[in-house]
Structure 1
Amino acid sequence: MASLDYVEIPPYATRLQSAPDNDNLRAIPKVLTSLPRPEHAPAALAANTSSPTSSQPLSPSKAALNSIPQLLLSSAIQLPPTPRDATRGPLLSTRDPLSIPITTVNFRRFVSRIGPAFWLQDRLEEIVMWKKGTRYTAVWMAAYAFLCYFPRLVLLIPHICLLSVLLATHPSLRSAESAPEVPPPSTAPAGEGSGDWLANVQAIQNLMGAYSDAHDYVQPVIPHLTHATPYTPVILSATALSLVAFIPAVHLLPLRTTFLILGLAPLILTHPIVRLTLLPALLSSAQPLLTALRARLMRALDDDQLEDCHWRAELRDVELFENERWRRDEQGSAEGGWAKANLRTGERKPWTRGRDGWSGVSDDGGGDVSNLTFALSPGWKFVETEDWRPDLQGKWAAPASADAGGWVYTNDAWLDPRPLPSDEWRASGMTRRRRWIRRIYYSPMMLEDNTIDPRDI
Structure 2
Amino acid sequence: MVNNESDPFVNRDTPIPVVSITGPDHHSSTAFGVRTAGDRNGNGSRHQLSAGKLKAKLGSLADRFDRPESPSRVSDRLFTMLLQQVLPSQDYDEDTPVKDRRSRKYVDRPGFSLPVMSSNFRRFNARIGVAFVFQNRLIRLFAWRVPSQTLSFLSVYTFICLDPALLAVLPFAMCLFFIMVPAFLARHPPPPTHTPTDLYPLAGPPLAAPQTIRPAPELSRDFFRNMRDLQNSMEDFSRLHDKLIALLAPPTNFSNEALSSVLYLILICTACLLFITAHLLPWRFIFLIFGWAATCAGHPRIQELLTETKTDELIREKEIEGRSWLIGLSKADIELETSPEIREVEIFELQHRALHDEDGEYESFLFSPSTYAPLSPSRIAGDRPKGTPFFEDVQPPRGWRWSDKKWTLDLLSREWVEERCVTGVEVEIEGERWVTDLHYEVLEEESPKRKGKEKEVLKNVWEASNAPSRKGEWRRRRWVRGVERVPVNGSSES
Smaller-chain TM-score bracket: 0.3 to 0.5
TM-score (norm 1): 0.45
Greater RCO structure (CA 8 Å; 6+ sep): 2
TM-score by length of 2: 0.42
